[in-house]
Structure 1
């Protein structure tokens, strides 16, 4: 302060012809003395008289101080009544920003509100989400830590514990602090306390060997002589402390050397410093002879000629004199406000009046302090916001260890509240030395992060940072760390094996390239050749009795229908399209209706032929080709009518089924109308049932006319195949559903072919002697004889 005042008084451009003076009062860290000193300065009398000023010299411009927040609060409450300006260089409690309570309080040090923001940004920068908090039991610790707590919660950081540090030694409370520290899984501990109050607790922590923690200290730790001992190295190595930004004051170090040298014994402060720095003692004439003799034997006398430059003392390391810079700015702030008031041409007060620099009211200077904005000798812009706070700027210091075993701090980063978002924090991670056991940035989380493919489930009764990682379901994915929920892929995509992304679903249908499709296609073609061959055989032997028996034309039509039955299964193979979906179902329904109609007509003709042989039978007029042809045509037209109705109401179409099978898009045919589909199958079932009943009843008719036994077996096979098909069709999906339908078509067609035509082919090819009218009639005669 003295240096700043002398510098201002020597500056012709600042307050010309005006000199500043000062008066120093030591409050001794007690509230009563701070109030007493404040009243003393207000009244100008050693015995203060409230509301009375007897100052005969220059007016009191402003009060610089106090250091501690609790002292400044008491002083600010009193000065606010009189609107006297107070500028603190070290008080950081956020409550002092409240202008309704402290209208005349300003400070050149940032509020703890910004300190909390800086610490929170540091914690989030390193990705720590699980931290503990120690706070000293006063306004500085409690309010600051509470604001820090709020900022951490906003940033998604959880508090593992919150403990207060007693201002007065309490073994019980300190023991609890140690126990909490040893039990916690948090590796990062934030301390809102000054060194003196923390020291007893930290001493017990060191004794308990609770190491391996990263300590984050508030600006109360910025000077560490108390902890600069070997017993604290293991515990506090790697500590990161928030500190007021360092600034060197030009020519201040030389000023200190000169000032201390010329004010040795005459100044009580300098004299005490001199004794401690050089280990000597001043000769006091008031001291009795015995005391002087004792002093001489213990310490040499100070001469005042000792060389200050030979001292290796932290006092002269101006990097650590952080609050000195704030005091320096506080004095300049008052000087610039006085200068603005002194040079004002048009008064801002009532009726344009100006303040008199020699006799001004306190509130008048307050008006100018609010508006002061200047650059100091280091080029820093200095001003106060509406709350009386300066721009916030902090350094982050890392405690590292010298070879001698003592601490030294290294600047590892900077925080500037006025910088753009995202650029307010700058950390040099390569310059950081962590606590023993950490070669890289320590991890402090309640739960390990959930990687892609998992989502975090919050545990009941625990903070949000404590969670369990749950794998995403088979239909969901998460592609980010610590996802709160899994997401569904698009309909045409499916989660990867690790559930950390989506991939295109595979497209599935029964293709000709598929082994199953290829096999069924080959079987269909080969099976179709069999009825074709039989048809050729029947045409070549069309005049033989076996072929002519039971309506030769119906046999030809049945063989042609069976060829189409085997062939229509090929339409079911390949990528389904709407035309193929229509053709496959209609062709299947109509062709099978023709087959079963032919069998029904054959069976009915067997019965009519046998009944017509009886004397005086009226059924002879029905025997002939017209009845079976009409019957086949009628039954087939009924099926065609069902199919046409189906096509009109809701025809089949192709669709992409993305839901039935995981990871696959099934291209399939949608029947359009299930009612029409089952009506078509029901009609086939009805025809097959009637054919089976008629054939079963006619099974004992004479052999020369009788195909009923073979038709009975064929209908049993047909019914068994399609009854089995229904549950299989409903229980399978994708290409296997189509394969089941093809298998049913091939099986039922093969059953009809083998039961109806294989016995006749055997006679034609293997037993030609049986393919004669005489043999058949002879066999019939033999049967009649046996009956008689």
Structure 2
């Protein structure tokens, strides 16, 4: 405290020597020692207000102006009652250490200002730093005090708001029992949180730390509040190993030019008016002035006498801690704030002043509320380049240093600045941390982790555990068609309609477009078979044309055979419409073409069967079927039966035309380019009509298979229709049970198999005789066969 008083004296002396501030005006001061007592603090304030040691409320004995401002107090407990009283008189009070956020309430404390950040600033900084380090699972120990309770609650709220979780939130009672100490120690040891925030008085924390030291606790990172990060109590041996490496925010440190030399020049012989110097000298050098009657009771029996020649430089370096001027800098700024306020008051131009009618205050007789006005609106830049002003709540621009406490083997302690924090208009707070320069507690060699659950990798999402905080979760892989493109995703993202998730569920990739193409093996094989059978059909047509005058070709209507072969050729070729990427035109043509050419084929077979039956029945005496003999009947059958199918197809294409569509639901990860038939009823109606034609042909051929004829085709037609019926009866369940391009392949296979069956069953016996047994291709042989039958 003596250093703080000397800092204020130094600042006032520096201002008095500076002609740029309050020229020709000398500042004075009065110092009152509150002894860290609220009662003493109130007593000092009453002395200031009344001017007498005999306190008389609302009465002032002084004729000269009162003080321009009050610098103090350090503890919030003392500042609170002071601020309540001074607020009644609108006396400006500038604290250099009371960070309690309650004091920012201008309704209760209208004249309170401070040169240290609001305590909420520290809570916000700690929460932001914790989350910046990736610590989402932390514990909090706090003292049973309004200041620490409010700060810890704010810290808890901010950590939760920013996505973190609290492993434990434990109060340390001011009066703590051994059982409670053990309970708290066990809570810390059992917790899976690697990071613990100590929002406490150091004196409250020591018993718990001593208990933890007995259990040789390791692998914990301690974060200290500014209340004890630079406390000398941390030197205690029994907790040295645990707390080494602790980090925490503290007031901004700054150099005060000239202060060190000023303090070194303090001496009992050169400062006779300093009532504290002799007492301080005795404490520092453990000696007693021979003529001092009021020495410290501890030193009364000391045999060492103070001479004034003691080596003060080494002692002063230890006592005054020149490397850690934090509170001293806050005092220095507070004095300058009052001085700049008085300077602005002194330089006021009449008629342009801030008060009624442009009035100015008289520096020789100003009122406290006038001084308060100027203090609240002061704005200046310190020698270190820091801008100081007070916001609407009386708080300064928040700045802080991040300290890393290192206790060395020789017992010395250093506080390394490893980061800093400040506010920014566009961002709430900015923290800069040099992580590489931090010496971590708990034996960690790099930034430790403190999480309840390990991060979920890309492609996985977090699933909270029932009854546990949100930071405790299990990782679940994303469903098919969904991705998580960042770690710790809470939800998986559905891929766009034309995209699908990759194998790792990390990104969306275009869906595979699928159709029965010519390039793939199945499409190539079916195309090859269609072309092969088409060539076989063409060769059969060529053979029949070449041997068109032979009896076996002429038998059973040569023209119908040509028509049947042409329809079979078109059946083979129309199967090619089913291969390749479906287009609207191909979708409209393929089923219609298939239905028409197949109906032409079956109509020709039906006509052939009629010819066999009519030819046999017409040879009987008195038969009425003689008038049906000729080419008119078979051509009529072909025309009528085919025309009905043509009408059906035209109706289908006109009313419910098939079209090409991209089916995205038939198979996951694929887009099936297929033909939508438009009307399933029309499709099955075409197949049903073909089934009727085939059934009639089969029945008639079956009954006519043993009828005598020059070359009876009925039995071959029977076999062909049996093949046709077998193929298409098998086609229906196979077609209904498949999807995608397999469905198209089934239909092509049915077309090729049924067409090939008709071709081989009807025409292979004739080709066999024409090419391999030409001796049988004679009228005599055929007639002989007739007789044999």
Report the TM range for the smaller structure's normalisation.
over 0.9
Aligned to 2:205: 198
Q: What's the counterpart of residue 56 of structure 2? A: 49
C-alpha deviations, 1:219-246, integer Å up to 9, x for none? 1123232112454343223211101111
| Pair 1:464 & 2:470 matched | yes
1:626 Cα deviation (Å)? 0.9
Equivalent residue number for residue 786 of structure 1? none
Residue number in structure 2 paired with 1:70: 77
**Which of 445, 455, 459 is equivalent to 2:461?**
455
SS in 1 for 2:476: strand
SS in 2 for 1:669: strand
Moved more, 644-653 or 471-480: 644-653
| Residues 567-626 of structure 1 deviation map (CA, whole Å, 9 limit, x = unaligned) | 222332233333333333232211111111111112222222222233211111112211
* Secondary structure of residue in 2 paired with 1:305: coil
Q: Which residue of 2 aligns with 1:244?
A: 251
Equivalent of 2:314 in 298, 310, 314: 310
Is the alpha carbon distance of 1:214 and 1:506 closer, same or farther for their aligned partners in structure 2, counting shifts above 3 Å?
A: same
Q: Is the alpha carbon distance of 1:418 and 1:485 closer, same or farther for their aligned partners in structure 2, counting shifts above 3 Å?
A: closer
Aligned-pair Cα RMSD in Å:
2.7
Distance 1:501 1:293 in 2: 81
Q: CA separation in 1, counterparts of 2:170 and 2:119?
A: 19
Report the CA distance between 1:778 and its aligned residue: 4.2
Which secondary structure state, in structure 2, belongs to the residue aligned with residue 156 of structure 1? coil
Correspondence for 2:3: none
Q: 2:668 aligns with which of 645, 662, 671?
A: 662
C-alpha contact 2:284 2:319 (8 A) present in aligned 1? no
Shift of 1:359: 3.5
1:153 aligned onto 2:157: no
2:125 matched residue in structure 1: 118
Q: How many Å apart are 1:499 and its aligned residue?
A: 1.1
1: CA distance, partners of 2:539 / 2:713 = 21
Residue 332 of structure 1 corresponds to 336
Local SS of the residue matching 1:576: coil
2:561 to 555, 558, 561: 555
Equivalences for 1:132-143 in 2 at 5 Å? 132-143=139-150
What is aligned with 2:483? Answer: 477
Structure 2 match to 1:93: 100
Counterpart of 2:746? 740
Q: In the alignment, does 2:674 pair up with 1:689?
A: no
Q: Secondary structure at the match of 2:97?
A: coil
For the Cα contact (< 8 Å) 1:510–1:575, is it kept in 2? yes
**Cα separation, 1, equivalents of 2:786 and 2:380:** 134
Rounded Cα–Cα distance in structure 1 between residues aligned with 2:450 and 2:224: 17
Please tell me whether the aligned partners of residues 233 and 406 of structure 1 are also in contact (alpha carbons under 8 angstroms).
no
Return the offset for 1:354. 4.0
CA contact (8 A) 2:564 2:604 kept: yes
Q: Which residue of 1 aligns with 2:285?
A: 278
1:416 positional shift: 1.3
Return the alpha-carbon distance in structure 2 between the equivalents of residues 405 and 764 of structure 1. 118
User: Once structures 1 and 2 are overlaid, which stretch shifts more, 325-334 or 370-379?
Assistant: 370-379
CA distance in 2, matches of 1:283, 1:533: 140
- 2:196 aligned residue: 189
Alignment correspondent of 1:570: 576
Deviations 1:418-456, CA, capped at 9 Å, x for gaps: 465388222222211222442221122222222221222
- Tell me by how many angstroms 1:256 deviates: 0.9
Whether 1:513 and 2:519 are equivalent positions in the alignment is yes
Partner of 1:608: 614
Which shifted more, 95-104 or 65-74?
Answer: 65-74
Tell me how far apart the structure 2 counterparts of residues 745 and 375 of structure 1 sit (CA, whole Å).
Answer: 94
The Cα shift of 1:329 comes to: 1.6
What CA distance in whole angstroms lies between the structure 2 residues aligned with 1:333 and 1:502? 61
The answer on 1:39 being equivalent to 2:46 is yes
Shift of the alpha carbon at 1:57?
A: 5.4
Q: Taking structure 1 as reference, are residues 261 and 33 closer, same or farther at Cα in structure 2, changes over 3 Å only?
A: closer
Show structure 2 runs of 5+ residues with no match: 1-7
Give the direction of change, closer, same or farther, for the CA distance of 1:92–1:263 in structure 2 (3 Å limit).
farther
Q: Which residue of 2 aligns with 1:168?
A: 175
Q: How does 1:606-755 map to 2 (within 5 A)?
A: 606-702=612-708, 704=710, 706-755=712-761
- My pick for the range that moved more, 339-348 or 617-626, is 339-348
Q: Deviations over 1:632-671 (max 9, x none)?
A: 1111111112222222223333333333233333333332
1:108 paired to 2:108: no
Find 2:506's aligned residue among 493, 500, 506: 500
**Alpha-carbon distance in structure 2 between the residues aligned to 1:694 and 1:101:** 112
Q: CA deviation at 1:766?
A: 4.2
Change (3 A) 1:261 1:723: farther
- What SS does structure 2 have at the residue aligned with 1:295? coil
Contact 1:140 1:192 in 2 (8 A): no
TM-score for the superposition, normalised by structure 1: 0.92
Supply the distance in 2 between the matched residues of 1:102 and 1:478 (Cα, whole angstroms): 52
Q: How far off its partner does 1:89 sit?
A: 0.5
Q: CA deviation at 1:357?
A: 3.2
Q: Structure 1 residues 262, 379: CA separation in 2 closer, same or farther (over 3 Å shift)?
A: farther
Residue 718 of structure 1: how far off its partner (Å):
1.0
What is the Cα deviation at residue 773 of structure 1? 4.1
The equivalent position to 2:16 in structure 1, one of 9, 27, 31, is 9
Structure 2: distance between partners of 1:165 and 1:27: 27
CA distance in 1, matches of 2:26, 2:428: 45
Distance, in Å, in 2 between the alignment partners of 1:44 and 1:648 is 110
| Matches for 1:281-292 after TM superposition, within 5 Å | 281-283=288-290, 286=293
Whole-angstrom distance in 2 between the partners of 1:648 and 1:291:
116
Provide the residue aligned with 1:219 in structure 2.
226
Match of 2:531 in 1: 525
The residue that corresponds to 1:367 in the other structure is 373
Cross-structure match for 2:327: 323
Partners of 2:245 and 2:405 within 8 A in 1: yes
Contact 1:233–1:405 (CA under 8 A) maintained in structure 2: no
Cα deviation, residue 263, structure 1? 7.0
Q: 1:315 to 1:420 in 2, by over 3 A?
A: farther
- 3-state SS of 2:534 partner: helix
TM-score (norm 2): 0.92
Aligned residue for 1:219, secondary structure, equals coil
Cα distance in 1 between the residues matched to 2:504 and 2:63: 85
The 1-side partners of 2:298 and 2:329 are apart by 41
Distance 1:263 1:659, change over 3 A: farther
Q: Identify if the C-alpha distance between structure 1 residues 292 and 762 changes in structure 2 by more than 3 Å, giving closer, same or farther.
A: closer
Cα separation, partners in 2 of 1:293 and 1:174, compared to 1, 3 Å: closer
Asked whether the equivalents of residues 137 and 165 of structure 1 are also in contact (C-alpha less than 8 Å), the reply is yes
Contact 1:399/1:409 (<8 A) preserved: yes
Q: Distance in 1 between matches of 2:510 and 2:299?
A: 97
Corresponding residue SS for 1:220: coil
For each residue in 1:95-150, what CA deviation from the matched residue of structure 2 results, as whole angstroms up to 9, or x when unmatched?
10000000111111111122222223322322222222222221221111222223
Q: Secondary structure at the match of 2:673?
A: strand
Note if contact 2:137-2:471 (Cα within 8 Å) is conserved in structure 1: yes
Asked if the contact 1:65–1:72 (Cα under 8 Å) also holds between the matched residues in 2, the reply is yes
C-alpha contact 1:283 1:301 (8 A) present in aligned 2:
yes
Q: Distance in 2 between matches of 1:487 and 1:131?
A: 30
Hey, what's the Cα distance between the residues in 2 that align with 1:194 and 1:56?
44
Instruction: Confirm or deny: 8 A CA contact 1:657 1:668 kept in the other structure.
Output: yes
Alignment of 1:250-261 (within 5 A): 250-261=257-268
DSSP-derived class of the 2:265 partner: helix
